[in-house]
Amino acid sequence: RKEVEQDPGPFNVPEGATVAFNCTYSNSASQSFFWYRQDCRKEPKLLMSVYSSGNEDGRFTAQLNRASQYISLLIRDSKLSDSATYLCVVNRGFKTIFGAGTRLFVKA
């Protein structure tokens, strides 16, 4: 079993839809959590950090449940430009562990 697991996708949604991604991590010693976005053949870019209290950045909302070892990302009012792969990322000590990513396609 992988240390960080994500919905495999792909998610195909129309513009304006709300879409949710899930992620689970297996090591309870994990300390910090992030969502990154990666476009094809580009480097991942930090989308947002994830906190237990939940945090929101515009159309994006991230949640962390430490008890369930579960992380989520909600995208509201999807735009064509949101099409990308979303990576769930976990820091544990000096290690950074990436989920396999969930591909999102937003269509007109």
Partner 1 sequence: GAVVSQHPSWVICKSGTSVKIECRSLDFQATTMFWYRQFPKQSLMLMATSNEGSKATYEQGVEKDKFLINHASLTLSTLTVTSAHPEDSSFYICSARESTEASEKLFFGSGTQLSVL
Residues that bind partner 1 (CB under 8 A): 32, 34, 41-46, 49, 87, 89, 91, 94-101
DSSP 15-79: TT--EEEEEEE--TT--EEEEEEE-TTS--EEEEEE-TT-EEETTEEEEEETTTTEEEEEE-S--
Please report, for residues 16, 35, 78, 96, 97, the alpha-carbon distance to residue 42 in angstroms, rounded to integers and kept in the order given.
25, 16, 21, 19, 18
For the CB of residue 76, give the shortest distance to partner 1 in the complex, in Å.
Answer: 25
Min CB(52)–partner 1 separation in Å: 15
Of residues 29 and 108, the one with the C-beta less far from partner 1: 29
**102 strand-pairing partners:** 86
Give least dist CB 40 to partner 1, A.
9
CB of 3: closest distance to partner 1 in angstroms? 11
* Closer Cβ to partner 1, 44 or 61, answer by number: 44
* Closer of 2 and 18 to partner 1 (Cβ): 2
